[in-house]
Structure 1
Amino acid sequence: MNNSQQRGGTGRSQVRKAELIAIGRKLFADTSYDALSVDDIAQHAGVAKGLIYYYFKSKRGYYLAIVEDSVAELVARAGGEPDLPNAERVRRTIDGYLHYAEHHQAAYRTIVTGGVGSDAEVLAIRDAVREELVGTIAEGAYGRRAVPPLARLALVGWLCAVEGVTLDWIGGLDREGQPGKAEVGALLVRQLRATLAVIEEFAPDCPAPPAVEEIATGPDDHRNQVPVTESA
């Protein structure tokens, strides 16, 4: 638990902290960490800078609280709807991940690149979210989070590729011909299926799940427009 989490235990204080974090997310989305002083932050928030120190102890503490809040939203969006069939849950996880990256680009870049000068605490937060997402994918693919070390390595490798693809994609959203979220998601699902097939070769106790197309979908479902398996 960081210092910001130890302060402001009342409901009103928690609301005030949440408001300050929301303001900070917008500020750091448009301005670099080094370019913002505590005075600047307080001025934008319309509060005395002592309030920033009270809740977060320092600018770095404030920044870490913003990163943690962003990570929590990313994980919640990516891991939502746990009662869906496994293969559909995997698809929704990837869709939620891309949706977050598209609409929170600065926060996403901070999470996956390690933040301010590869800050050790931000890197630890990034590693934690990677583990959570790998667990979510494993649960969607195999119905369990615990998988053999080799299978975990393969899933981590796929997730690192997802991060690279996503960073490049959001960096070129205004580029002519740039694919949309549905097409990128279909690409990542297909890559995941290839990874799961390789995992099955090396770890037979982790059989690749059925193709997503085997789940019945309505004729108007836009996802049917994009192939995601070799048989499509």
Structure 2
Amino acid sequence: MNISQQPAARPGARSTERSLARRAELIAIGRKLFADTSYDALSMDDIARQAHVAKGLIYYYFHSKRGYYLSIIQDSVAGLVAFAAGGVELPPAERVHRTVDGYLRYAEHNQAAYRTIVSGGVGFDAEVHAIRDGVREAIIETIAEGAYGTSDITPVARMGLLSWVCSVEGATLDWIGRPGLPRETVRELLVKTLGGALRAIEELDPAHPAPEPARRDS
């Protein structure tokens, strides 16, 4: 079949593609708006004006300002987790390095989204905090898979990895706020501190031995 004989794309499919593209465009605009202005300070009129769209379009896609805001957070979370969790085919030590490097790359290139995810949104927001906690659990599972070959770990191991993830969040926020250290240096520092966490976990829970690279860092 030559090109002229190929069936044309269905109108419904084209409409869906345009709708998804428009939604993604609005989310990208929203990331920038909420990065510079607090949630309460932005009205739907403000958002529509700065996004150069009709207010009804935002209601059409997201139903409310709250829905728009949560969609922005959820989209950012999906990007962060996907960026950090790849490389499942790699050996454990390489996968850990790739995960940490991917995490830092995401934070470096999506600073507003990263700050929103890690800070839990504007003020105390239970839904946004739940999304943030989901990111932490996803990163813990990714590191556990890389270090132990499974995400089914004991409470001691989970707590040890959670404490490391929380320290990574603080260090990464400081790094993107005060650039100076190369990403490679920050990555190696965080990988070495992970080695310390893995050795501490092994000491308290021998069922989760630290991988060899972590032991060599001793």
TM exceeding 0.5: yes
Q: Is the 8 A contact 2:83 2:102 kept in 1?
A: yes
Tell me which of 190, 201, 204 is aligned to 1:202. Answer: 204
RMSD: 1.8
Q: Is structure 2 residue 80 aligned with structure 1 residue 78?
A: no
Q: Deviations over 1:89-117 (max 9, x none)?
A: 10110011111111111211111111011
Q: Deviations over 1:142-181 (max 9, x none)?
A: 11011011100000011111111111111111xxxx3211
Q: Is the 8 A contact 1:196 1:208 kept in 2?
A: yes
What amino acid is aligned across from residue 68 of structure 2 in structure 1? Y
| Alignment-derived partner of residue 230 in structure 1 | 217
- Return the offset for 1:230: 2.9
Distance in 2, matches of 1:163 and 1:118, equals: 18
What amino acid is aligned across from residue 97 of structure 2 in structure 1? R
What amino acid is aligned across from residue 36 of structure 1 in structure 2? L
Q: Which moved more, 1:25-34 or 1:14-23?
A: 25-34
Distance in 2, matches of 1:32 and 1:62, equals: 14
| Alignment-derived partner of residue 26 in structure 1 | 32
Q: Is structure 2 residue 94 aligned with structure 1 residue 92?
A: no
- Return the offset for 1:26: 2.2
Distance in 1, matches of 2:27 and 2:119, equals: 20
| Alignment-derived partner of residue 192 in structure 1 | 194
Distance in 2, matches of 1:83 and 1:46, equals: 44
Q: Is the 8 A contact 2:99 2:143 kept in 1?
A: yes
Distance in 1, matches of 2:216 and 2:63, equals: 50
Residues 229, 96 of structure 1: CA spacing in aligned structure 2 closer, same or farther, 3 A cutoff? farther
| Alignment-derived partner of residue 217 in structure 1 | none
Tell me which of 16, 38, 56 is aligned to 2:62. Answer: 56
Distance in 2, matches of 1:121 and 1:10, equals: 28
Distance in 1, matches of 2:93 and 2:138, equals: 18
Relative to its length, the structure with more helix (as a share) is 2
Residue identity (%):
65
Distance in 1, matches of 2:139 and 2:151, equals: 10
| Alignment-derived partner of residue 36 in structure 1 | 42
Q: Is structure 2 residue 127 aligned with structure 1 residue 125?
A: no
| Alignment-derived partner of residue 161 in structure 2 | 155
- Return the offset for 1:50: 0.8
- Bigger radius of gyration among the two: 2
Q: Is the 8 A contact 2:32 2:112 kept in 1?
A: no
- Return the offset for 1:229: 5.8
Aligned length: 204
Question: Is there any run of 5+ residues in structure 2 with no aligned partner, and where?
Answer: 1-14
The 3-state SS of whatever aligns with 1:144 is coil
TM-score (norm 2): 0.88
Q: Is the 8 A contact 1:105 1:170 kept in 2?
A: yes
